[in-house]
Structure 1
Amino acid sequence: MSRTSLPEDCVPPAPRRELRVRSADGTWLHAEVHGPEDAPTVVLAHGWTCSTAFWAPVVHRLAADHRLVAYDQRGHGRSAAPENPAGYSTAALADDLEAVVEATVPHGTRAVLAGHSMGGMTIMAAADRTAVRDRTAAALLASTGSAALLEALRVVPFAGRTPRVRLALHRALLSSTLPLGPVTPVSRAVLKYAVMGPATPVERAEACARIVHACPRRVRAGWAQVLGELDLHAEVGRLAAPASVLVGTADRLTPPVLAERIHEALPHSEGLTRLPGIGHMSPVERPDSVADEIRRLVTVHLTAGPGAAPAGTAVAAADAEPRSATA
């Protein structure tokens, strides 16, 4: 078993308070709040096989002057798992986000939503939910995709020269119900290759491995099935709030081509940020860049900074100027 110590910022901070949120189908979700109660609110949605602990590096950077709401996706962390296959769907993810927003973002106020991987898909899936639409000032879609994930995957090395072979291998890998077991140097190295950039320090790979290995294998396989059939392209076009897209250039799980498609389909895109050499786990690999983009969205669209819209009002398309950057 691995004994590598974690970076200080990867150790989850104690939340100011915790709460349970009941989703539309009765599933109970764990949520936690960090930072001052009167600060601008940011809702954090993590990705597949992760938990609120995944956001620790970003929370450490923003909690001094932001009210951060993080929640465990159903089946992950301390949230209850779906009781039947119908509980695994993008509609269920949208229900959960809507329930969290209604419970933590008071009516008449707004928040910035930040979603990583499946969390970004959750934001896209909830684009037409009234509570989410009315209470979202802006969104960050980090290391995510909206459709055709299996075709874009580059996780398995030497996965065959034909698209059919590559697709079959990736489908088999993602849908596996085999236990991951304890974190070892070998399993950590395999995970790092699949989801992190080659220059990622071993301590950060260790932090991600501990989180991913803690996900129940039934939950992991259930959501893999959903991801394999994902098609949220139409929902991207219905995302009314200004949104920015962020991706690592070494992302094998949701490669840059998927981020480019989202950027092009968004009604009010704030631009596409590419992080050189960074893999799929951008909030852990490059937390400064992710936190900086969240802070920028809060400043522009939620607080009294330049171009901000008053709380409770919609942001017009003209206020969301396209932005393209390489960090």
Structure 2
Amino acid sequence: MRRPAHLTQGRYAPPVPRRTLDVTSADGSRLYAEVHGPEGAPTVVLSHGWTCSTAFWAPVVRDLADTHQVVLYDQRGHGRSPAVPPAGHSTRALADDLVAVLEQTLAPGERAVIGGHSMGGMTIMAAAERPELRARAAAALLCSTGSADLASEARVFPLPTPGGRRQAHRRLLGSRAPLGPVSPPAKWALRYATLGAGASAEQIEACARIVHACPPGVRFRWGHVLYELQLTRSVSRLEVPTAVLVGTADRLTPVVHARRLASVLPQCVGLTELPGLGHMTPIEDPDAVAGRLRDLVRDHLATAPAPRGERPARQKKEKTA
């Protein structure tokens, strides 16, 4: 029997959404999206990273959904969003998809806090100059991500020179090899590359099932986009209050990226460094990630959280400059 692509019980199992929908992007691509939490509550929109899916956000959604409406979507080719032709893989496509999700899931005039992990954070950066993002985003969280030079800065292969690291990580990002079953050696390799030394067996299993479910062709095409990534100019135009979060043991997007983002962002509202954590911070410390999102809602959406068990009427959001 084939194992499911995610855990089916416990904190890391995806909760059942209140509703699901198909979102149509600018080029006609279809994206799977789901909505959790009470209608009318303050909204958080989450964008996952390379080789992941909506299931990646499960523990964060479980933390937020009592008092927040949470919108998730599968990046094109990931999870339940269909694959697209090779030309459909670009940072422009990522931006188109995020804008489509915002426009087709939020109510007219509604704003949200937007969070992105890894490639999801790059998605937010890519959309920085879009008027739709500026109209919809009250604040943003960039989690375990970077804007450029990913291959030369990564430490999965801790070679002494940027050129050597660039070549080694180019092979990693550009691999077409199937990952195979979720075996003990595969989980060891994934833990080394993406998680901190203190990751639990359940966290490793949750990440492995999600990552191994990503089709090799999708992993390869988006890996090429990541290798060529140049979004530092876009970061400097992300003119919404933005928090940055990173694990200090992140080998894929090390702390240097987060510190660089914090120095370039027009409205950085804090850099959080989580000691000993790796790249998969929403799974390694979902409380910290959810807490930072709650802070952004409190400070920039200006809407009181809905009491547990109640369905509040939609409240008017405060406009921000």
The interval holding the TM-score normalised by the smaller chain is over 0.9
Structure 2 gaps, min length 5: 305-315
1:108 and 2:109 equivalent? yes
Corresponding residue for residue 120 of structure 1: 121
Other structure's SS at 2:114 match: strand
Corresponding residue for residue 93 of structure 1: 94
Computed over aligned residues only, the root mean square deviation of the Cα atoms, in angstroms, reads 1.7
Structure scoring higher RCO (CA < 8 A, sep ≥ 6) equals 2
Partners of 1:303 and 1:278 in 2: CA distance: 31
Other structure's SS at 2:317 match: coil
1:21 is displaced (CA, Å) by: 0.4
Corresponding residue for residue 308 of structure 2: none
Other structure's SS at 2:31 match: strand
Corresponding residue for residue 137 of structure 1: 138
| Aligned amino acid, residue 246 of structure 2 | V
Q: Between Structure 1 and Structure 2, how many residues are aligned?
A: 308
The 4+ residue runs of structure 1 with deviation greater than 3 A are 1-7, 159-162
User: Does the 8 Å CA contact 1:2/1:185 hold for their aligned counterparts?
Assistant: no
Corresponding residue for residue 171 of structure 1: 170
Corresponding residue for residue 211 of structure 1: 210
Corresponding residue for residue 18 of structure 2: 16
User: Does the 8 Å CA contact 1:6/1:203 hold for their aligned counterparts?
Assistant: no
Partners of 1:245 and 1:199 in 2: CA distance: 22
| Aligned amino acid, residue 204 of structure 1 | Q
Partners of 2:16 and 2:43 in 1: CA distance: 18
- Decide whether aligned partners of structure 1 residues 282 and 160 sit closer, same or farther in structure 2, where only a CA change above 3 A counts: closer
Corresponding residue for residue 156 of structure 2: 155
Partners of 1:2 and 1:280 in 2: CA distance: 25
User: Does the 8 Å CA contact 2:303/2:317 hold for their aligned counterparts?
Assistant: no
Corresponding residue for residue 68 of structure 1: 70
Partners of 1:304 and 1:14 in 2: CA distance: 25
| Aligned amino acid, residue 273 of structure 1 | T
Partners of 1:8 and 1:100 in 2: CA distance: 28
Corresponding residue for residue 48 of structure 1: 50
User: Does the 8 Å CA contact 2:146/2:258 hold for their aligned counterparts?
Assistant: yes
- Deviation per CA, 1:230-287, whole angstroms, max 9, x where unpaired? 0100110111110000000000000000000100000000010000000000000000
1:2 is displaced (CA, Å) by: 9.1
Structure 1 gaps, min length 5: 316-327
1:314 and 2:320 equivalent? yes
1:6 is displaced (CA, Å) by: 7.1
Corresponding residue for residue 59 of structure 2: 57
TM-score by length of 2: 0.93
1:201 and 2:220 equivalent? no
1:313 is displaced (CA, Å) by: 1.7
User: Does the 8 Å CA contact 2:297/2:303 hold for their aligned counterparts?
Assistant: no
Corresponding residue for residue 324 of structure 1: none
User: Does the 8 Å CA contact 1:16/1:35 hold for their aligned counterparts?
Assistant: yes
- Decide whether aligned partners of structure 1 residues 152 and 133 sit closer, same or farther in structure 2, where only a CA change above 3 A counts: same
